[in-house]
Copies of this chain bind each other. A is one copy, B any other.
Amino acid sequence: MTRRAALAGAAAAGIGAGIGRVVDAPVASADADPDSSTEAVSFHGPRQAGIATPQQSHLAFAAFDVTASSRQTLRRLLQQWTAAAAALTAGREYAPDGSKQRRGPSDPGEAVGLPPAQLTLTFGFGPTLFETGGRDRFGLAHLRPAPLEPLPAFPGELLDPARSGGDLCVQACANDPQVAFHAIHLLARIAGEGASLRWVQRGFWPAGGPNRPTPRNLLGFKDGTANIRGGDEAAMNRFVWVQPSDRPTWMHEGSYLVVRRIEIMLESWDPLPLAEQERAIGRHKRSGAPLGARRERDLLDLHATDAHGNPVIPLDAHARVASPAGNAGQRILRRGYSYSDGSRPGPADRGGHQIDSGLFFIAFVRDPQRQFVPLQRRLATHDALSMFTVHTASAVFACPPGTGRDGFIGERLFT
Protein backbone atom coordinates (compact mmCIF):
# COMPACT_ATOMS: atom_id res chain seq x y z
CA MET A 1 0.00 0.00 0.00
CA THR A 2 1.42 3.38 -0.92
CA ARG A 3 1.43 6.24 1.56
CA ARG A 4 -1.20 7.80 -0.68
CA ALA A 5 -3.36 4.69 -0.69
CA ALA A 6 -3.03 4.44 3.08
CA LEU A 7 -4.21 7.98 3.34
CA ALA A 8 -7.04 7.47 0.86
CA GLY A 9 -8.13 4.45 2.86
CA ALA A 10 -8.08 6.48 6.03
CA ALA A 11 -10.09 9.23 4.37
CA ALA A 12 -12.63 6.76 3.00
CA ALA A 13 -13.04 5.42 6.51
CA GLY A 14 -13.68 8.93 7.73
CA ILE A 15 -10.32 9.14 9.46
CA GLY A 16 -7.80 11.90 8.86
CA ALA A 17 -8.12 15.33 7.39
CA GLY A 18 -8.75 14.42 3.75
CA ILE A 19 -6.56 14.36 0.69
CA GLY A 20 -4.60 17.35 -0.54
CA ARG A 21 -5.09 18.47 -4.08
CA VAL A 22 -1.47 17.99 -4.94
CA VAL A 23 -1.64 14.38 -3.88
CA ASP A 24 -4.69 13.90 -6.04
CA ALA A 25 -3.28 15.64 -9.10
CA PRO A 26 -3.56 13.64 -12.31
CA VAL A 27 -0.40 11.86 -13.33
CA ALA A 28 1.53 13.90 -15.88
CA SER A 29 3.97 12.40 -18.31
CA ALA A 30 6.46 15.16 -19.07
CA ASP A 31 9.28 15.65 -16.58
CA ALA A 32 8.97 19.40 -16.94
CA ASP A 33 5.31 19.39 -16.00
CA PRO A 34 5.05 20.61 -12.42
CA ASP A 35 2.20 18.15 -11.86
CA SER A 36 4.69 15.31 -12.19
CA SER A 37 6.74 16.72 -9.33
CA THR A 38 4.76 14.70 -6.79
CA GLU A 39 4.95 11.38 -8.68
CA ALA A 40 7.24 8.39 -8.22
CA VAL A 41 10.51 7.72 -10.06
CA SER A 42 11.23 4.02 -10.47
CA PHE A 43 14.04 2.77 -8.23
CA HIS A 44 14.78 -0.41 -10.17
CA GLY A 45 16.66 -0.60 -13.45
CA PRO A 46 20.07 -1.21 -14.99
CA ARG A 47 21.27 2.21 -13.79
CA GLN A 48 20.64 3.94 -10.47
CA ALA A 49 18.13 6.79 -10.52
CA GLY A 50 19.24 10.23 -9.35
CA ILE A 51 21.97 10.62 -11.95
CA ALA A 52 20.24 11.11 -15.32
CA THR A 53 16.98 11.98 -13.51
CA PRO A 54 15.98 15.65 -13.96
CA GLN A 55 17.20 17.43 -10.86
CA GLN A 56 14.70 17.61 -8.02
CA SER A 57 14.35 20.67 -5.75
CA HIS A 58 15.74 19.28 -2.48
CA LEU A 59 18.75 17.26 -1.42
CA ALA A 60 19.62 15.33 1.72
CA PHE A 61 23.02 13.70 1.37
CA ALA A 62 24.54 11.40 3.99
CA ALA A 63 27.86 9.61 4.33
CA PHE A 64 28.36 6.62 6.62
CA ASP A 65 31.25 4.68 8.10
CA VAL A 66 30.80 0.94 8.30
CA THR A 67 31.37 -0.05 11.92
CA ALA A 68 30.71 -3.76 11.49
CA SER A 69 33.71 -5.83 10.50
CA SER A 70 31.90 -8.66 8.77
CA ARG A 71 31.36 -8.89 5.05
CA GLN A 72 28.02 -10.52 5.81
CA THR A 73 26.81 -7.52 7.84
CA LEU A 74 27.76 -5.16 5.03
CA ARG A 75 25.89 -7.30 2.53
CA ARG A 76 22.80 -7.41 4.76
CA LEU A 77 22.89 -3.65 5.22
CA LEU A 78 22.94 -3.13 1.45
CA GLN A 79 20.03 -5.53 1.07
CA GLN A 80 18.01 -3.75 3.74
CA TRP A 81 18.80 -0.35 2.25
CA THR A 82 17.73 -1.60 -1.18
CA ALA A 83 14.40 -2.86 0.17
CA ALA A 84 13.81 0.39 2.02
CA ALA A 85 14.74 2.47 -1.03
CA ALA A 86 12.29 0.56 -3.21
CA ALA A 87 9.50 1.25 -0.71
CA LEU A 88 10.30 4.91 -0.08
CA THR A 89 10.77 5.91 -3.73
CA ALA A 90 7.36 4.35 -4.47
CA GLY A 91 5.83 6.42 -1.68
CA ARG A 92 5.30 3.42 0.59
CA GLU A 93 6.08 3.18 4.26
CA TYR A 94 8.99 0.93 5.19
CA ALA A 95 7.55 -2.21 6.76
CA PRO A 96 10.15 -4.98 6.46
CA ASP A 97 8.01 -7.80 7.80
CA GLY A 98 4.56 -6.27 7.97
CA SER A 99 4.51 -6.36 11.76
CA LYS A 100 5.16 -3.82 14.46
CA GLN A 101 8.73 -3.69 15.69
CA ARG A 102 9.66 -4.10 19.30
CA ARG A 103 12.34 -1.45 18.94
CA GLY A 104 9.98 1.26 17.74
CA PRO A 105 7.95 1.56 14.57
CA SER A 106 9.95 0.40 11.53
CA ASP A 107 9.18 3.67 9.75
CA PRO A 108 9.52 6.88 11.79
CA GLY A 109 6.46 8.18 9.96
CA GLU A 110 7.06 11.82 9.08
CA ALA A 111 6.44 11.13 5.37
CA VAL A 112 3.04 9.49 5.90
CA GLY A 113 0.52 11.42 3.80
CA LEU A 114 3.20 12.94 1.55
CA PRO A 115 3.45 11.93 -2.12
CA PRO A 116 6.61 10.23 -3.51
CA ALA A 117 7.79 13.68 -4.74
CA GLN A 118 10.11 12.08 -7.31
CA LEU A 119 12.35 10.73 -4.56
CA THR A 120 15.52 9.11 -5.85
CA LEU A 121 18.09 7.35 -3.68
CA THR A 122 21.56 6.92 -5.15
CA PHE A 123 24.12 4.83 -3.30
CA GLY A 124 27.91 5.02 -3.52
CA PHE A 125 31.02 3.32 -2.12
CA GLY A 126 34.00 5.33 -0.88
CA PRO A 127 37.66 4.31 -1.34
CA THR A 128 37.85 3.35 2.36
CA LEU A 129 35.23 0.64 1.90
CA PHE A 130 37.72 -1.28 -0.25
CA GLU A 131 40.80 -0.58 1.83
CA THR A 132 41.45 1.44 4.98
CA GLY A 133 45.05 2.09 5.93
CA GLY A 134 46.15 -1.04 4.07
CA ARG A 135 43.44 -3.19 5.66
CA ASP A 136 41.09 -5.18 3.44
CA ARG A 137 38.13 -5.08 5.83
CA PHE A 138 35.57 -6.86 3.68
CA GLY A 139 37.61 -8.84 1.18
CA LEU A 140 36.88 -6.20 -1.45
CA ALA A 141 40.37 -4.74 -2.00
CA HIS A 142 40.86 -6.59 -5.28
CA LEU A 143 37.61 -5.10 -6.60
CA ARG A 144 38.52 -1.49 -5.94
CA PRO A 145 38.23 0.54 -9.14
CA ALA A 146 41.47 2.25 -10.11
CA PRO A 147 39.68 5.62 -10.63
CA LEU A 148 38.32 5.44 -7.04
CA GLU A 149 41.24 7.08 -5.30
CA PRO A 150 40.94 9.73 -2.64
CA LEU A 151 41.13 13.09 -4.39
CA PRO A 152 44.52 14.81 -4.24
CA ALA A 153 44.98 18.04 -2.29
CA PHE A 154 44.11 21.16 -4.29
CA PRO A 155 45.52 24.66 -3.72
CA GLY A 156 43.46 26.86 -1.41
CA GLU A 157 41.13 24.23 -0.02
CA LEU A 158 40.40 24.08 3.73
CA LEU A 159 38.83 20.68 4.13
CA ASP A 160 37.04 19.63 7.29
CA PRO A 161 37.71 15.90 7.66
CA ALA A 162 34.52 15.51 9.72
CA ARG A 163 32.48 16.62 6.70
CA SER A 164 34.55 14.69 4.16
CA GLY A 165 34.93 11.12 2.98
CA GLY A 166 32.96 8.09 4.13
CA ASP A 167 32.69 4.37 3.38
CA LEU A 168 29.16 4.66 1.98
CA CYS A 169 26.98 7.48 0.75
CA VAL A 170 23.33 8.04 -0.05
CA GLN A 171 22.12 10.92 -2.18
CA ALA A 172 18.41 11.54 -1.51
CA CYS A 173 16.76 13.97 -3.94
CA ALA A 174 13.06 14.87 -3.90
CA ASN A 175 10.71 17.74 -4.57
CA ASP A 176 9.78 17.83 -0.87
CA PRO A 177 12.45 18.43 1.80
CA GLN A 178 10.57 16.28 4.32
CA VAL A 179 10.52 13.33 1.91
CA ALA A 180 14.28 13.64 1.35
CA PHE A 181 14.95 14.05 5.08
CA HIS A 182 12.77 11.07 5.93
CA ALA A 183 14.74 8.84 3.55
CA ILE A 184 18.06 9.70 5.19
CA HIS A 185 16.50 9.42 8.65
CA LEU A 186 15.15 5.97 7.89
CA LEU A 187 18.33 4.70 6.19
CA ALA A 188 20.42 5.93 9.14
CA ARG A 189 18.07 4.09 11.49
CA ILE A 190 18.32 0.89 9.45
CA ALA A 191 22.11 1.16 9.46
CA GLY A 192 21.83 0.52 13.19
CA GLU A 193 24.92 -1.13 14.57
CA GLY A 194 26.35 -1.92 11.13
CA ALA A 195 27.22 1.60 10.05
CA SER A 196 27.23 4.99 11.70
CA LEU A 197 26.42 8.35 10.25
CA ARG A 198 29.51 10.38 9.34
CA TRP A 199 28.04 13.60 7.94
CA VAL A 200 24.85 15.01 6.41
CA GLN A 201 24.33 17.89 4.01
CA ARG A 202 21.02 19.32 2.84
CA GLY A 203 20.51 21.57 -0.17
CA PHE A 204 17.98 23.25 -2.42
CA TRP A 205 17.83 24.06 -6.11
CA PRO A 206 15.11 25.85 -8.08
CA ALA A 207 13.05 23.66 -10.40
CA GLY A 208 14.52 23.62 -13.90
CA GLY A 209 13.61 21.77 -17.07
CA PRO A 210 12.84 22.63 -20.68
CA ASN A 211 10.00 25.06 -19.92
CA ARG A 212 11.60 26.89 -17.02
CA PRO A 213 14.41 29.39 -16.71
CA THR A 214 17.83 27.97 -15.86
CA PRO A 215 18.15 27.97 -12.04
CA ARG A 216 20.40 30.54 -10.38
CA ASN A 217 23.04 29.74 -7.78
CA LEU A 218 23.75 31.89 -4.71
CA LEU A 219 26.15 34.06 -6.72
CA GLY A 220 22.98 35.19 -8.50
CA PHE A 221 24.08 33.71 -11.84
CA LYS A 222 22.33 31.12 -13.99
CA ASP A 223 23.99 27.78 -13.39
CA GLY A 224 23.81 24.78 -15.69
CA THR A 225 23.39 26.40 -19.11
CA ALA A 226 26.15 24.28 -20.64
CA ASN A 227 25.60 21.23 -18.44
CA ILE A 228 25.10 17.72 -19.84
CA ARG A 229 21.38 16.85 -20.16
CA GLY A 230 20.41 13.56 -18.58
CA GLY A 231 18.56 12.66 -21.76
CA ASP A 232 21.62 13.16 -23.98
CA GLU A 233 22.56 9.46 -24.26
CA ALA A 234 25.67 10.11 -26.35
CA ALA A 235 27.11 12.59 -23.84
CA MET A 236 26.01 10.45 -20.89
CA ASN A 237 27.78 7.41 -22.32
CA ARG A 238 30.89 9.33 -23.14
CA PHE A 239 31.23 11.32 -19.91
CA VAL A 240 29.05 9.83 -17.16
CA TRP A 241 28.23 6.11 -17.40
CA VAL A 242 30.98 3.55 -16.96
CA GLN A 243 31.24 1.64 -20.24
CA PRO A 244 31.82 -2.06 -21.03
CA SER A 245 35.34 -1.19 -22.13
CA ASP A 246 36.12 0.29 -18.69
CA ARG A 247 37.40 -1.65 -15.68
CA PRO A 248 36.31 -3.03 -13.29
CA THR A 249 33.39 -4.70 -15.03
CA TRP A 250 31.21 -4.60 -11.89
CA MET A 251 31.01 -0.80 -12.39
CA HIS A 252 29.48 -1.10 -15.88
CA GLU A 253 26.41 1.21 -16.03
CA GLY A 254 27.57 2.84 -12.81
CA SER A 255 29.21 6.24 -12.37
CA TYR A 256 31.54 8.10 -10.00
CA LEU A 257 30.25 10.80 -7.72
CA VAL A 258 32.41 13.73 -6.61
CA VAL A 259 31.18 16.08 -3.89
CA ARG A 260 32.78 19.36 -2.85
CA ARG A 261 31.27 21.66 -0.27
CA ILE A 262 32.12 25.07 -1.74
CA GLU A 263 31.59 27.95 0.66
CA ILE A 264 30.83 31.24 -1.06
CA MET A 265 32.16 34.31 0.73
CA LEU A 266 29.12 36.43 -0.03
CA GLU A 267 30.54 39.26 2.09
CA SER A 268 33.27 39.60 -0.57
CA TRP A 269 31.25 38.71 -3.65
CA ASP A 270 28.21 40.90 -3.05
CA PRO A 271 30.13 44.23 -3.00
CA LEU A 272 31.86 43.42 -6.29
CA PRO A 273 30.54 45.71 -9.06
CA LEU A 274 28.28 43.98 -11.58
CA ALA A 275 30.80 44.25 -14.43
CA GLU A 276 33.47 42.57 -12.30
CA GLN A 277 31.09 39.81 -11.26
CA GLU A 278 30.33 39.22 -14.94
CA ARG A 279 34.04 39.16 -15.84
CA ALA A 280 34.67 36.61 -13.06
CA ILE A 281 31.97 34.35 -14.48
CA GLY A 282 32.39 35.17 -18.18
CA ARG A 283 28.65 35.60 -18.62
CA HIS A 284 26.07 38.34 -18.16
CA LYS A 285 24.26 38.10 -14.87
CA ARG A 286 20.69 38.77 -15.98
CA SER A 287 20.52 36.91 -19.30
CA GLY A 288 23.17 34.26 -18.73
CA ALA A 289 24.56 35.05 -22.19
CA PRO A 290 28.34 34.74 -22.67
CA LEU A 291 30.07 38.12 -22.48
CA GLY A 292 29.80 39.68 -25.92
CA ALA A 293 26.74 37.62 -26.83
CA ARG A 294 23.02 38.27 -26.36
CA ARG A 295 21.31 35.00 -25.53
CA GLU A 296 21.94 32.46 -22.82
CA ARG A 297 22.63 29.63 -25.23
CA ASP A 298 24.75 31.61 -27.66
CA LEU A 299 28.20 30.15 -28.31
CA LEU A 300 30.85 30.81 -25.67
CA ASP A 301 33.44 32.20 -28.10
CA LEU A 302 36.81 31.87 -26.37
CA HIS A 303 38.64 33.42 -29.31
CA ALA A 304 36.64 36.64 -29.54
CA THR A 305 38.64 39.81 -28.87
CA ASP A 306 37.56 43.39 -28.32
CA ALA A 307 38.68 46.47 -30.25
CA HIS A 308 41.94 46.49 -28.28
CA GLY A 309 42.69 42.88 -29.02
CA ASN A 310 41.85 41.74 -25.49
CA PRO A 311 39.83 38.57 -25.01
CA VAL A 312 36.09 39.25 -24.53
CA ILE A 313 35.91 36.31 -22.12
CA PRO A 314 38.73 37.07 -19.63
CA LEU A 315 41.49 34.51 -19.29
CA ASP A 316 40.49 33.81 -15.69
CA ALA A 317 36.71 33.78 -16.27
CA HIS A 318 35.09 30.73 -14.70
CA ALA A 319 33.27 29.86 -17.93
CA ARG A 320 36.58 29.78 -19.83
CA VAL A 321 38.61 27.85 -17.27
CA ALA A 322 35.83 25.28 -16.81
CA SER A 323 35.03 24.91 -20.52
CA PRO A 324 35.65 21.60 -22.29
CA ALA A 325 37.92 23.48 -24.72
CA GLY A 326 40.34 24.17 -21.88
CA ASN A 327 40.07 20.63 -20.50
CA ALA A 328 40.92 18.27 -23.35
CA GLY A 329 37.27 18.15 -24.35
CA GLN A 330 36.21 16.64 -21.03
CA ARG A 331 32.77 17.36 -19.60
CA ILE A 332 31.10 16.44 -16.32
CA LEU A 333 27.46 16.10 -15.25
CA ARG A 334 26.89 18.64 -12.50
CA ARG A 335 23.97 18.00 -10.16
CA GLY A 336 24.77 20.22 -7.19
CA TYR A 337 22.61 22.09 -4.70
CA SER A 338 22.86 25.42 -2.94
CA TYR A 339 23.13 25.20 0.81
CA SER A 340 22.62 27.56 3.71
CA ASP A 341 23.73 26.24 7.09
CA GLY A 342 23.09 29.08 9.48
CA SER A 343 25.88 31.55 10.16
CA ARG A 344 29.63 31.49 10.63
CA PRO A 345 32.07 34.00 12.12
CA GLY A 346 32.90 36.72 9.61
CA PRO A 347 36.36 37.86 8.54
CA ALA A 348 38.43 39.27 11.40
CA ASP A 349 38.31 42.80 9.98
CA ARG A 350 34.52 42.88 10.00
CA GLY A 351 33.47 40.94 13.09
CA GLY A 352 29.98 39.63 13.59
CA HIS A 353 28.65 36.69 11.67
CA GLN A 354 28.07 36.00 8.00
CA ILE A 355 25.60 33.72 6.28
CA ASP A 356 27.18 30.28 5.92
CA SER A 357 26.17 29.25 2.44
CA GLY A 358 27.46 28.11 -0.89
CA LEU A 359 27.29 25.30 -3.36
CA PHE A 360 27.27 21.64 -2.44
CA PHE A 361 28.89 20.64 -5.71
CA ILE A 362 27.94 17.18 -6.96
CA ALA A 363 29.29 15.79 -10.22
CA PHE A 364 28.86 12.41 -11.87
CA VAL A 365 31.69 11.28 -14.13
CA ARG A 366 32.93 8.17 -15.89
CA ASP A 367 36.41 8.65 -14.44
CA PRO A 368 37.15 11.20 -11.70
CA GLN A 369 40.91 11.02 -12.25
CA ARG A 370 40.66 11.94 -15.91
CA GLN A 371 37.68 14.30 -15.72
CA PHE A 372 37.45 15.96 -12.34
CA VAL A 373 41.02 16.11 -11.02
CA PRO A 374 42.60 18.03 -13.94
CA LEU A 375 39.58 20.33 -14.12
CA GLN A 376 39.74 21.16 -10.41
CA ARG A 377 43.53 21.70 -10.62
CA ARG A 378 42.92 24.34 -13.29
CA LEU A 379 40.03 25.93 -11.43
CA ALA A 380 41.94 26.10 -8.13
CA THR A 381 44.75 28.08 -9.72
CA HIS A 382 43.20 29.96 -12.65
CA ASP A 383 39.53 30.63 -11.88
CA ALA A 384 38.71 34.21 -10.84
CA LEU A 385 35.87 32.76 -8.75
CA SER A 386 38.35 30.99 -6.46
CA MET A 387 38.96 34.38 -4.80
CA PHE A 388 35.40 34.22 -3.47
CA THR A 389 35.05 30.55 -2.62
CA VAL A 390 36.72 27.97 -0.42
CA HIS A 391 36.27 24.22 -0.62
CA THR A 392 35.49 23.01 2.89
CA ALA A 393 34.66 19.34 2.29
CA SER A 394 35.35 16.68 -0.30
CA ALA A 395 34.51 13.09 -1.08
CA VAL A 396 34.43 10.64 -3.96
CA PHE A 397 32.29 7.54 -4.32
CA ALA A 398 31.77 4.76 -6.85
CA CYS A 399 28.06 4.43 -7.62
CA PRO A 400 27.41 0.88 -8.77
CA PRO A 401 24.83 0.06 -11.45
CA GLY A 402 21.17 -0.25 -10.54
CA THR A 403 19.44 -3.44 -9.56
CA GLY A 404 16.35 -5.46 -10.40
CA ARG A 405 13.53 -6.41 -8.09
CA ASP A 406 15.32 -9.50 -6.80
CA GLY A 407 18.75 -7.97 -6.39
CA PHE A 408 20.40 -5.33 -4.24
CA ILE A 409 22.64 -2.36 -4.74
CA GLY A 410 26.25 -3.50 -4.98
CA GLU A 411 25.35 -7.14 -5.52
CA ARG A 412 28.16 -7.65 -8.05
CA LEU A 413 30.68 -7.09 -5.25
CA PHE A 414 29.42 -10.16 -3.41
CA THR A 415 29.17 -12.79 -6.17
Whole-angstrom distance between the alpha carbons of A92 and B7 in the complex? 39
Whether A17 lies near B197 (C-beta < 8 A) is no
Whole-angstrom distance between the alpha carbons of A185 and B265 in the complex? 12
Whole-angstrom distance between the alpha carbons of A202 and B351 in the complex? 22
Whether B181 lies near A108 (C-beta < 8 A) is no
Please tell me if A155 contacts chain B, counting CB pairs below 8 Å.
no
Which residues A159-189 have CB closer than 8 A to chain B?
A: 163, 176-178, 181, 184-185, 188-189
The stretch from A71-79, A128-136, A283-291, A396-404 touching chain B is: A283-291
Please tell me if A342 contacts chain B, counting CB pairs below 8 Å.
yes
Please tell me if A96 contacts chain B, counting CB pairs below 8 Å.
no
Whole-angstrom distance between the alpha carbons of A219 and B206 in the complex? 28
Whether B7 lies near A21 (C-beta < 8 A) is no
Query: Which residues on the B side are within 8 Å of A365 (C-beta)?
Result: none
Please tell me if A141 contacts chain B, counting CB pairs below 8 Å.
no
Whether A112 lies near B181 (C-beta < 8 A) is no
Chain A at the B interface: mostly helix, strand, loop or mixed? loop
Please tell me if A113 contacts chain B, counting CB pairs below 8 Å.
yes
Whole-angstrom distance between the alpha carbons of A287 and B7 in the complex? 9
Please tell me if A272 contacts chain B, counting CB pairs below 8 Å.
yes
Whole-angstrom distance between the alpha carbons of A104 and B270 in the complex? 6
Whole-angstrom distance between the alpha carbons of A298 and B335 in the complex? 46
- Give which listed residue, B100, B102, B355, contacts A200 with CB less than 8 A: B355
Whole-angstrom distance between the alpha carbons of A101 and B23 in the complex? 45
Whether A355 lies near B296 (C-beta < 8 A) is no
Whether B338 lies near A178 (C-beta < 8 A) is yes
CB-CB under 8 A for A181 and B353, given A21-B33, A200-B343, A277-B105:
no
CB-CB under 8 A for A181 and B357, given A196-B351, A294-B15:
yes
Please tell me if A274 contacts chain B, counting CB pairs below 8 Å.
yes
Whole-angstrom distance between the alpha carbons of A58 and B57 in the complex? 13
Whether B178 lies near A206 (C-beta < 8 A) is yes
Query: Which residues on the B side are within 8 Å of A176 (C-beta)?
Result: 206
Whole-angstrom distance between the alpha carbons of A341 and B110 in the complex? 17
CB-CB under 8 A for A274 and B100, given A15-B294, A296-B17:
yes
- Give which listed residue, B21, B67, B178, B200, contacts A204 with CB less than 8 A: B178
Name A185's closest neighbour in chain B (CB-CB).
B355
The smallest beta-carbon distance between A226 and chain B, in angstroms, is 13
Binary contact track A224-238/B, C-beta < 8 Å → 1, others 0? 000000000000000
Query: Which residues on the B side are within 8 Å of A101 (C-beta)?
Result: 273
- Other A-B contacts than A16-B288, A17-B213, A20-B209, 6 sampled, CB-CB below 8 A, are A22-B207, A101-B273, A105-B273, A185-B357, A196-B351, A341-B341
Can you list 9 contacts pairing A with B, beta carbon distance less than 8 Å?
A16-B295, A18-B211, A19-B212, A20-B212, A67-B352, A103-B271, A111-B216, A163-B342, A198-B352
| B-binding residues in A (CB < 8 A) | 7, 10, 14-23, 32-34, 58, 60, 65, 67, 100-105, 107-114, 163, 176-178, 181, 184-185, 188-189, 196-202, 204, 206-207, 209, 211-214, 216-221, 266, 269-274, 277, 285-289, 294-297, 338, 340-343, 346, 350-357
- The 3 A-B residue pairs whose C-beta atoms are closest, nearest first, are A109-B220, A196-B352, A20-B212
